[in-house]
Amino acid sequence: MIRHRATARSVSAVLLPLFQAVLLLLPATGGLSLADVALAATAAAGTALAVCVLLAARCAPAVAPTRVRTAIRDRDRRTAFLPQRDPDAKGRTRPRAPGHALLATAA
């Protein structure tokens, strides 16, 4: 469903030259081969997909920069910050050095 005339004009501006090109490329005597039909179907599907993507991109609302800043700030506040611990801080025990292998793990 096309809502605006400008959109209908843009769709026809894309599809009309493609249709004319297909008519010019048709062989005058032989008709259509299976490869021609497959090529035309692929071109039509690709064109329809491109038109849908363009129309969807036009309909997407623009996001205000203040909303973007607010979203980034909120995400920053929600992100967990894990403080780095100083192993040499007062009251913290030193990590043990590797010792002899345990008998249970040596086997």
Is there a contact between 50 and 15 (Cβ–Cβ < 8 Å)? Answer: no
* Dihedral (CA of 40, 43, 45, 47) sign: negative
User: How far apart (Å, rounded) are the C-alpha atoms in residues 50 and 24?
Assistant: 23
Three-class secondary structure assignment of 16-63: HHHHHHHHHHCCCCCCCCHHHHHHHHHHHHHHHHHHHHHHHHHHCCCC
User: How far apart (Å, rounded) are the C-alpha atoms in residues 42 and 21?
Assistant: 14
Going by the DSSP 8-state scheme, the letter that residue 30 receives in this structure is T
pLDDT per position as a tens digit, 2-51: 555 566 667 667 767 777 776 676 655 566 778 878 888 899 999 999 99
* Dihedral (CA of 48, 53, 54, 60) sign: positive
Going by the DSSP 8-state scheme, the letter that residue 79 receives in this structure is S
- Residue 16: the pLDDT is 72
The structural domains of the chain, with segments of one domain joined by +, span 5-70
Whether the pTM exceeds 0.85: the reply is no
- Token pair recorded at residue 8: 């209908």
